[in-house]
Homo-oligomer: A and B are copies of this chain.
């Protein structure tokens, strides 16, 4: 089995980086092949731009998704994108390792999604959700937050974390057909002392130990919608 870790942290001594190192050790010990895309170390370019395409289908007007498809087929897509797409194709499991910035991905990781989840391979037309291009592969977030657990949930100041992560879980990962496992979230990490951090790291190890028995998040199924994506059953 093959694991791709997409890691985005600018501090090599960070807790998230330690979680990433634990992830590597855990899966290598279990006999998996592991690749890490360490986006800061790679100086990964997160900006989707015309420079991503060696041969434009339409040189006069950039429609990014159409050019992704055209340049992938013509083997003229930027080499840094191709390398990441090939890692995604190789992987059985993708773990996203990052600190939550503004209830979303750090820009360097958001740009990895923007540039690497290419139309024609990862999705396209009605090839989304349970018909998505990455169907059969699993994905999971392994992340940290500045906030405390009591700041999230019904009635809590920031609301439910599941809601805040929905654009990532459903809009990015589920959308391309990935089976999305429950995330591991380390709360309040910048403000914790060593023993508390070690306790969270032990919880993360337990999360990894049971990864095959985690219940995936529920995603839309195309079977519930017609060819134009109207719901087959009335909303009620």
Residues of chain A whose beta carbon lies under 8 Å from any beta carbon of chain B: 10-11, 13, 40, 46-50, 60-65, 101-108, 110-111, 113-114, 117, 129, 146, 148, 150-151, 153-159, 163-164, 166-168, 170-172, 175, 190, 220, 222, 224-225, 228-231, 233-235
- Min Cβ gap A174→B in Å is 10
A171 in complex: contacting residue of B104, B111, B170, CB < 8 Å:
B104
Contacts of A107 in B (CB 8 A): 46-48, 107-108, 110-111, 114
| Contacts A102-B171, A114-B106; A13 near B46 (Cβ below 8 A) | no
CA distance A210 to B117 in the complex (A): 38
Q: Which of A65, A155, A157, A163 has the most CB of B within 10 A?
A: A157
- Min Cβ gap A168→B in Å is 8
Q: Which of A48, A104, A159, A172 has the most CB of B within 10 A?
A: A104
Are A167 and B167 in touch, CB under 8 angstroms?
A: yes
CA distance A231 to B163 in the complex (A): 19
| Contacts A158-B171, A158-B220, A171-B103; A150 near B47 (Cβ below 8 A) | no
Measured CB to CB, the nearest residue on chain B to A147 is: B229
- Min Cβ gap A78→B in Å is 14
CA distance A146 to B175 in the complex (A): 14
Contacts of A224 in B (CB 8 A): 157
Are A117 and B102 in touch, CB under 8 angstroms?
A: yes
- Min Cβ gap A5→B in Å is 19
Are A104 and B108 in touch, CB under 8 angstroms?
A: no
Measured CB to CB, the nearest residue on chain B to A236 is: B155
Nearest 7 pairs of A and B residues by beta carbon? A103-B171, A107-B111, A155-B235, A103-B167, A46-B107, A107-B110, A11-B62
